[in-house]
Amino acid sequence: MQYLDTSERLYLERQVTLARAIFVALSLVALLETSTGPMPRASVVFLSIYLIYFLAALIAALSERFFSEHPLRLPLPLDFLILAVFLYLTPSVTAFWFLFLFAVFALATRGNTRAMLALVTLAPAGVIARLAVEYPFRWNSVWHWIAIGAGTLVSGLGMGFLGAREREYLGRQQFLKRITSLLQFNRGLSESIRQALAELAIAFECEQACLATYDDELERLFVWKVAASDHEARGPETSPMKEADAFLMDSLETSMCWEFKNGRGEGFGWDRRTGKFYRNVPAPPASTKEKFGARSLLAVTIEADGQPAGRVVLINPQRRFTTSDLRWLEAIVRHIGPPLENVFLLRSLRARAIESERSRISRDLHDGILQTLLSLNIQLEVLRIKAEQKPEQVGADFTGLQKTVRQEGEELRRMVTDMRPLRVDSADMRELMHGFAERFRNESGLKLDLFINDQNMRVPDRLCRELFQIYREALHNIKKHAKASHVVVKLGQDDTRVFLVIDDNGTGFSFSGHYASEDLDRLRLGPISIKERARSVGGTLTVESNPGHGARLTIEIPLN
């Protein structure tokens, strides 16, 4: 966590600038309050000039949102020089402490740990030396000087700890933000996991980071293994569930660290639900060492839908893992669990949508073109026989066959067109629907009334795309199967939902009544592909059917 991005560095710089002004002001107040003799003019003038300068720097820092840069940024070594000069000028240890604490804080927040420790070590000696010069030596003063030196040391260490924690906190927040941003559906599942695991391997300085998850439906384990140097996304290794113990290390309720040694090994850990520390953490199975090639490992459980779903495992660090490492890894895994789960769910939804689309295309080909080709083959055989017996009657039959071939060619062309990627947004939705309605009227000869209630659609592009696909598919189904003469389509929205209603006066479905989505799923009724499209965007399909008198499809999609 040594490197911070621009926004975090700017935040710390502003913190240092603000702390400088505050501590200089406190130092000046302490100097004036603790002076028992003549006013220390040199010290007061020195601090006043310093304070005025950094009040101007503070104003510049606070106004940096309006001005891209400000010139009043003092190099940190000059602060140390000022600290030494002030120690020489002032007889007040209290006034010196404030400047000293600021310098320690500035060093700690900038990550200069060695310089901070050196200053904390040298400052007590400087203070004691200053007191020895200012006041005559007496044995009864020694304890007083030691107490002041110890107070300087302890306060310096405490302030350094606070500054270091501030920097660590910002670094960790930046890391969580960066690793979460890597888990994006548009990157692809394997690439997202590769980048996130590579970040973990770099952050914890280990050879390899692994993610092991299991799928109950498939009864398979999926294991991603990524080294920090890997730059190519690879799919997971798959294993049967009988190898689960090797990858998941028996109990998913235990967060653990383990070092494999010649004997049994040793480790530490706790119950991830209660935080109860185990005196003797359960050792991972012997097969774990072989599967991961591990000498040492850190393992934390990742959840999906509130239930354990797998393990994140860090393998073979360059240094020994600590309890702080295990707690930090737990925090990271809790943070990335929801976005990672979303990536898995979206991948599953996409796979289901692809499967549904393939099933629809397969049904359309089987019920449409393939059946027609089979019929054409039979008719051609009949014509061949007829041509041998009654050649004068073959002409009319050929005309009918040509008409059938032409119709099926148009249907195939439509299917190919519908399979092309479609870009629809709310601004174009109205125009696209009217354009398709006009083509539908010309091609089918049916009367179509289209009503779009809202002149300015405010619907996400993905919903617009699915709605348009549903609209187009429903009209094609009516054209092919319903034997209707009139179709009415209504599109509208309110504050919470967008809805599409498609009404025709055709033959209707084979069933009668009003059926909600749950009923259609339970009874396996209704147009499957339209149901799946509506479900993929969180919507519902309702079907009203009156055989011989038409049908109505109602699609409702929530806008939240």
> Which residues span the domain enclosing 28?
6-179
Both 69 and 34 in one domain: the answer is yes
Would you say residue 377 lies in a domain?
no
Both 172 and 197 in one domain: the answer is no
Q: Which residue has the tokens 């997971």?
A: 236
Of 161, 179, 197, the position where a domain reaches its end is 179
Look at residue 309 and tell me whether its pLDDT is greater than 60: yes
Question: In sequence order, what DSSP letters do the residues of 313-351 get, joined into one string?
Answer: EEEEESS---HHHHHHHHHHHHHHHHHHHHHHHHHHHHH
* Predicted confidence (pLDDT) per residue in 417-439, tens digit: 665 556 666 777 888 889 889 98
Residue 396 near residue 415, CB atoms below 8 Å: no
Query: Measured in whole angstroms, how far is the alpha carbon of residue 223 from the centre of its chain?
Result: 20
* Predicted confidence (pLDDT) per residue in 451-503, tens digit: 988 666 778 888 888 898 899 889 988 988 889 999 999 998 888 889 999 99
Would you say residue 308 lies in a domain?
yes
Of 322, 348, 374, the position where a domain reaches its end is 348
* Predicted confidence (pLDDT) per residue in 193-240, tens digit: 888 899 999 989 999 999 988 877 777 888 889 888 887 777 788 888
Beta pairing class for 540-546 and 486-493: unpaired
Would you say residue 14 lies in a domain?
yes
Both 153 and 273 in one domain: the answer is no
Both 169 and 200 in one domain: the answer is no
Is residue 123 very low, low, confident or very high in pLDDT (cuts 50, 70, 90)?
confident
What whole-number distance in Å separates Cα of residue 34 and Cα of residue 94? Answer: 8
Look at residue 268 and tell me whether its pLDDT is greater than 80: yes
Both 219 and 313 in one domain: the answer is yes
Of residues 237, 204, 209, 240, the one with CA closest to residue 223: 237
Look at residue 285 and tell me whether its pLDDT is greater than 80: yes
Q: Specify the pLDDT at position 376.
A: 75
Instruction: Please give the average per-residue pLDDT across 263-292, as a whole number.
Output: 86
Give the side-chain half-sphere CA count within 13 A for 162.
Answer: 14
Of 348, 366, 384, the position where a domain reaches its end is 348
Look at residue 118 and tell me whether its pLDDT is greater than 60: yes
Number of domains within the chain:
3
Both 297 and 192 in one domain: the answer is yes
Coil, helix or strand at residue 517: helix
Both 333 and 197 in one domain: the answer is yes
Q: Specify the pLDDT at position 95.
A: 67
Both 164 and 194 in one domain: the answer is no
Both 269 and 197 in one domain: the answer is yes
Both 224 and 334 in one domain: the answer is yes
Instruction: Please give the average per-residue pLDDT across 97-114, as a whole number.
Output: 80
Instruction: Please give the average per-residue pLDDT across 432-452, as a whole number.
Output: 90
Q: Specify the pLDDT at position 105.
A: 82
The CATH number for 470's domain is 3.30.565.10
Global pTM value: 0.57
Both 262 and 227 in one domain: the answer is yes
Q: Specify the pLDDT at position 67.
A: 44
| Bigger pLDDT: 249 vs 364 | 249
- Of 73-77, 152-156, 195-199, 403-407, the one with minimum mean pLDDT is 73-77
Q: Which residue has the tokens 């007191």?
A: 131
The CATH number for 225's domain is 3.30.450.40
- Of 225-229, 282-286, 356-360, the one with minimum mean pLDDT is 356-360
Q: Which residue has the tokens 């009203």?
A: 544
Both 475 and 506 in one domain: the answer is yes
